[in-house]
Amino acid sequence: MRRLFSPRWILIHLGVALLVFTMINLGFWQLRRLDEKKTLNALVTTHTAQPIVDYSGGIKDPFAAEWTRIKLTGRYDTSHTITIINRSQDGSAGYDVAIPFINSDGTIFLINRGFVPLAIKMPSAPTGNLSVVGYVRKTQTRSAVGAIDSTSSTNTEFQRFDLPLIAKATDTQLFSKSYVQLIKESVTANSQWPATVSMPTLDEGPHLSYAFQWFFFSATALTGWAFVVRRKLREPINAPIAPE
């Protein structure tokens, strides 16, 4: 047994243990992602089926439930138009056009009017009073490795719908909890752009199969380690050479 506790073998044991530990955790991470996907699918299915909420200033929290459909009445503040860059849709690279919308009660909501390919010039938003219907979407925050947005007051391009940051950059009193992903406007559009942002795909994705793969890989690593250790134990110990 002592031969399995030499410095070289100790490194092998530790390496296999670390590898198996990592792969098992990756498997459980995929299972957690599967649960999150199931929760999102249920939320989208349930909330998009509910009646459209006609917003008024008397509603305490009109944006409590994400993916709820809401109707607003007011006008666009096109002087503070921004873009959310590095977007793609239907195989095309582009950006989302977002414009503050001044509701009839004075509340300002950010409206994501939709996707525009890079090759297309940004279309003009309708002017005057109109009604819009869209999905409630939560503000977004930067992940640990996400791209960093400029905090300059002249910045008009952002990586994500970070509403507090956008409100500061545009110097507007945006509603900072949620924005609206446009479904339709009460005016006739003169262009096919911006295109309505695609809805999330309501399937469970490959997370379950990925989890099984990680668990299989960890079992394979353990089996290989056990085989090598067993073979090592069966090797004969060379007898010491007797002196002449």
Is residue 190 included in any domain, yes or no? no
Do 129 and 167 fall into the same domain? yes
Do 156 and 224 fall into the same domain? no
Do 105 and 214 fall into the same domain? no
How far apart, in whole angstroms, are the C-alpha atoms of residue 155 and residue 205?
Answer: 36
Do 132 and 88 fall into the same domain? yes
Could you tell me the residue range of the domain that residue 160 belongs to? 51-185
Using one digit for the tens of pLDDT, what is the confidence trace for 199-219? Answer: 988 999 999 999 999 999 999
Do 225 and 169 fall into the same domain? no
**Predicted local confidence at residue 244, as pLDDT:** 45
Instruction: Name the domain count of the chain.
Output: 2
Is residue 70 included in any domain, yes or no? yes
Do 75 and 141 fall into the same domain? yes
Residues 6+ apart with CB under 8 A from 165: 149, 151, 158
Using one digit for the tens of pLDDT, what is the confidence trace for 170-187? Answer: 888 898 889 999 999 998
Q: Tell me which residue of 61, 168, 52 sits closest to 107, measured CA to CA.
A: 61
How far apart, in whole angstroms, are the C-alpha atoms of residue 201 and residue 207?
Answer: 14
Is residue 69 included in any domain, yes or no? yes
Is residue 46 included in any domain, yes or no? no
Is residue 192 included in any domain, yes or no? no
Do 93 and 178 fall into the same domain? yes
**Claim: this prediction has a pTM higher than 0.85:** no
Do 149 and 224 fall into the same domain? no
Do 9 and 79 fall into the same domain? no
Judge whether 22 and 214 are in contact, CB under 8 Å: no
Is residue 75 included in any domain, yes or no? yes
Is residue 100 included in any domain, yes or no? yes
Is residue 240 included in any domain, yes or no? no
Do 60 and 169 fall into the same domain? yes
Do 148 and 214 fall into the same domain? no
Do 97 and 126 fall into the same domain? yes
Using one digit for the tens of pLDDT, what is the confidence trace for 6-59? Answer: 888 889 899 999 999 999 999 999 999 999 999 999 999 999 999 998 887 555
Strands 82-89 and 157-158 turn out to be parallel
User: What mean pLDDT do residues 227-240 have?
Assistant: 75
